[in-house]
Amino acid sequence: MKKLFFFFCFFLIACHVYAEDDSVVVSDINQIDIPTASAFDKYAFRFGSRLYSGGGAQVNLGFGIHDRLSLGTSFLIDGLIGNDTHIRMRVPEIDVKFRFWDGGRYIPAFALGYNGQGYFYDSDLKEYQEDEKGLYLVGTSELLPAFFANFGVNMFDFDTNKVYGFIGFNYTLEEVVTIMAEYDNLFHHVTSQERFNAGLRFHITPEFSVDVAVRDINCSGHYKNGAERHPERMVQLSYDAKF
């Protein structure tokens, strides 16, 4: 899997070399689970709400501190939707990203970031069943007009220092809908939970978008707490504004 991943990365960079556009690489700041090298514009603001299985909701807040620097936070609220009487809010997590290279004709854009948000918190084990992205390095390349590739590595367990990988693609049709596909949590098939995700992002207005996606399509095995893994349908709403 490592050889395949690095082959894809080399292929993406090679394709990028032959692109005719010298402009700065621009994409959305994230796909479904994986980040991109894009950051919020200065003074930009995003409010997002992600609805996931079990009636839970994830609330996201993001700000553009500088044209290259984004800062945000997110938190989970389990049991918010439905008839569950035990609503539980989880500890807020930080999300920060610095785009240190804007990219161009020959080199993809690159960003360094940290995201502490995991998924499926187990109150007994006091840990997420799907680990956070942690510290990551991500590159974004526009292979064709409106067709972007995102690839990178991340590390969340600083005791074992294991490095994981991710790769994804997105294509926007007429600024109306974006098709997204990604493969996450690569390199450690035995000890990790590799995830293939796919979905659509509908651009209702320039400020408001709706994501419909299926996560963990290729799931197998069990979570850390012994629960069986299943594909998960999710919906995400995002609203962008500027101060």
Say how many C-beta atoms besides its own lie within 10 A of residue 116's C-beta.
19
pLDDT digit string, tens, across residues 136-146:
999 999 999 99
Q: Residues 6 or more apart from 176 whose CB is under 8 A from it?
A: 202, 203
Q: Determine how many CB atoms are found less than 10 A away from the CB of residue 169.
A: 18
Give the tens place of pLDDT for each residue, 171-225.
999 889 999 999 999 987 655 678 999 999 999 999 999 999 999 998 888 888 8
- Residue 112's domain comprises 2-242
Query: What is the average pLDDT value for the chain, to the nearest integer?
Result: 87
Total count of domains within the chain = 1
pLDDT bracket for residue 1 (50, 70, 90): low
Please give the full DSSP string across the chain, using - where no structure is assigned.
-HHHHHHHHHHHHHHHHT-S--SPP---SB-SSSB-S--PPTTEEEEEEEEEGGGEEEEEEEEESSSSEEEEEEEEEET-SSS-S--EEPPPEEEEEEEEE---SSS-EEEEEEE---EEEETTTTEEEE---EEEEEEEEEEETTEEEEEEEEE--TTTT--EEEEEEEEEETTTEEEEEEEEEES-TTTS--EEEEEEEEESSSSEEEEEEEE-TT--SB-TTSPBP--EEEEEEEEEEE-
Quick one: tokens of 212?
């419909």
Residues 21-75 have pLDDT tens digits of 444 445 689 999 999 999 999 999 999 999 988 888 999 999 999 889 999 999 9
User: How confident is the model at residue 16, as a pLDDT?
Assistant: 46
What pLDDT shows up at residue 18? 43
Residue 160 token pair: 């074992």
According to the model, what pLDDT value does residue 116 have? 95
Q: Token digits for 43?
A: 């003074």
CA distance linking residue 33 with residue 185, whole number of Å: 10
Average pLDDT of the segment spanning 127-153:
94
Say which CATH number the domain at 199 has: 2.40.160.40
The encoded tokens of residue 186 equal: 């690569």
What per-residue confidence (pLDDT) applies to 191? 56
